Amino acid sequence: MANSLVLSSDQKVKDEFRSMIMKTLDAILTSIKDESAFSGIDPLVLREKVNKLEILPEEGLGFDKTLENVKDFLPHMLKTWSTDYMPHLHSPALLESIAAELIISVFNDSMDSWDQSPLPTEMEVAVLDRLAKLVGFENGDGNFTSGGSQSNISAIIAARDSFCKKELGYDVKKYGLPECYRKLKLYTSSISHFSMDKACHILGLGYEAVGKLPVDDKEKVDIKAFEKLLEEDVRKGFIPFCAVATLGTTDFGSIDDIGEMRRLCDKYHMHLHADAAYGSGLLMSDKYRYRLGDVSLCDSITIDFHKMFLLPISCSCVLVKDKSLLDCFELHADYLNREEDEEDGYINLVGKSMQTTRRADAIKVYVSFVCRGKDGFGKIIDHSVENAKYLYDLLKDDKAFICPVEPEISSVVFATRTSDEVNKKIRRVLLSEGTVIGQTVKDGVTMLKFTLLNPALTTAHLDRLVDRIRKIRDSIC
């Protein structure tokens, strides 16, 4: 069957497109046969299956035959909505946000210039303005990005450039790194996300520019140690330019003390960035927002919508308190974002972004925000936080388990009191049964991890899972 190429106002094309979408939806829904997260297929068997596929045939098969091929592999897609899936900060997508994805893909607007995305540009500006107010940046601004890593990297570029301009009187954008670049240092906890190291590499400062701060027994930055390190580093001639507080560490969900970090940043004229890729969900909760501290104290903040907010990948933004921080990304091209257009009121968002072509992700934030309201999101977040508290209490009161850190958000790190090998085996057995949990290392010991983002998870699910873990442990030991 010859398929139409692109959408048009022609009724025949519209009907064909509707039929393709309905058939696809039908194939997806038919492939979901139970509540498990994963088929449990062995990686080598799956690889062999994929290797047999003809990726680029000389002649196309048309949509219907292609869909038959796709139906064959759909059962092996991961089902992120399953209550048996909880290894990472990787969420299921809210139903209305998947509908919003369809709108984004159908229109395929690009966020670089107004003439490529008239409505999405205005929508993104409005959504960012609301988000800035939510974190207490009255005159703030921001930019949507591909994820927390890019949001963090964008913030650190802005931090370096503005620090060099204000404190060293030096224009990095124009002249590249200053001569003293080997002295510039960024500070963040030893368990912060690796995007800080990546950022320093990409910025030409190198991994050595990252001062890793020790954490206390609650997995938060040890402020006294930070203060001491700053004194020592400055004495040695280093130039602190930025500190990153993690509001929700990847493994533990621990939250650094933003007030204390602000105090030290003020003392040394440093930029304070908050990586709230995980913890930003708490902004929606009247009950638990206080755990973040006063986020308006930071100069920039990362928010990931594809974690606690349950929006489809990818969706993140970086917000800045002072709009001019994003000037570091401004550059004009005759073909794209002419200054004369901007003077006449056409907004070209490319001037605030590392990216040029960019998805209209603010649309799905708008759809889900309006659909559920702050109250609806608050209930989702509270449920996750309370599930984590339930699970922590269950494990800490059981002598068979170690559960070292009380959760502040929704992650619970634990281990059976056996050996690294047994704990690793437990995770693998669960995986082969279609249940996916996380694994990490704390103080050199292998730990297992539940990351509870799914609003469908109940305490009964958690009870059953802990029981199953006990049984697997007994069968191994």
Ligand X SMILES: Cc1ncc(COP(=O)(O)O)c(C=O)c1O
Binding residues for ligand X (CB under 6 A): 89, 147-149, 152, 193, 195, 246, 248-250, 275, 277-278, 304, 316
- Please give the angle made by the CA atoms of 362, 90 and 473, to the nearest 5 degrees: 170
CA distance 412 to 429: 20
CA distance 20 to 14: 10
Q: Which residue has the tokens 């290894």?
A: 87
For 8, phi then psi, to 5°, come to -155, -175
To ligand X, the closest distance from the beta carbon of 313 in angstroms equals: 8
Residue with smaller CB distance to ligand X, 172 or 199: 199
To ligand X, the closest distance from the beta carbon of 269 in angstroms equals: 25
Q: Are 277 and 303 in contact (CB under 8 A)?
A: yes
To ligand X, the closest distance from the beta carbon of 108 in angstroms equals: 22
To ligand X, the closest distance from the beta carbon of 158 in angstroms equals: 17
CA distance 245 to 277: 11
To ligand X, the closest distance from the beta carbon of 304 in angstroms equals: 5
To ligand X, the closest distance from the beta carbon of 451 in angstroms equals: 9
Handedness of CA 399, 400, 404, 406 (dihedral sign): negative
Residue with smaller CB distance to ligand X, 63 or 288: 288
Residue with smaller CB distance to ligand X, 193 or 271: 193
To ligand X, the closest distance from the beta carbon of 131 in angstroms equals: 16
Residue with smaller CB distance to ligand X, 114 or 278: 278
> Collapsing DSSP states into helix, strand and coil, what is residue 4?
coil
To ligand X, the closest distance from the beta carbon of 111 in angstroms equals: 18
Largest CA distance in the chain: 74
Q: Are 406 and 392 in contact (CB under 8 A)?
A: yes
Residues 6+ apart with CB under 8 A from 254: 191, 215, 218, 219, 220, 246, 248, 405, 408
Residue with smaller CB distance to ligand X, 152 or 353: 152
User: Which residue's CB comes closest to ligand X?
Assistant: 148
CA distance 345 to 66: 46
Cα distances from 470 to residues 47, 206, 474, in angstroms, run 32, 45, 6
> Collapsing DSSP states into helix, strand and coil, what is residue 431?
helix
Residue with smaller CB distance to ligand X, 276 or 426: 276
Q: Are 387 and 410 in contact (CB under 8 A)?
A: yes
DSSP letter at 102 equals H
Residue with smaller CB distance to ligand X, 87 or 378: 87
Residue with smaller CB distance to ligand X, 121 or 152: 152
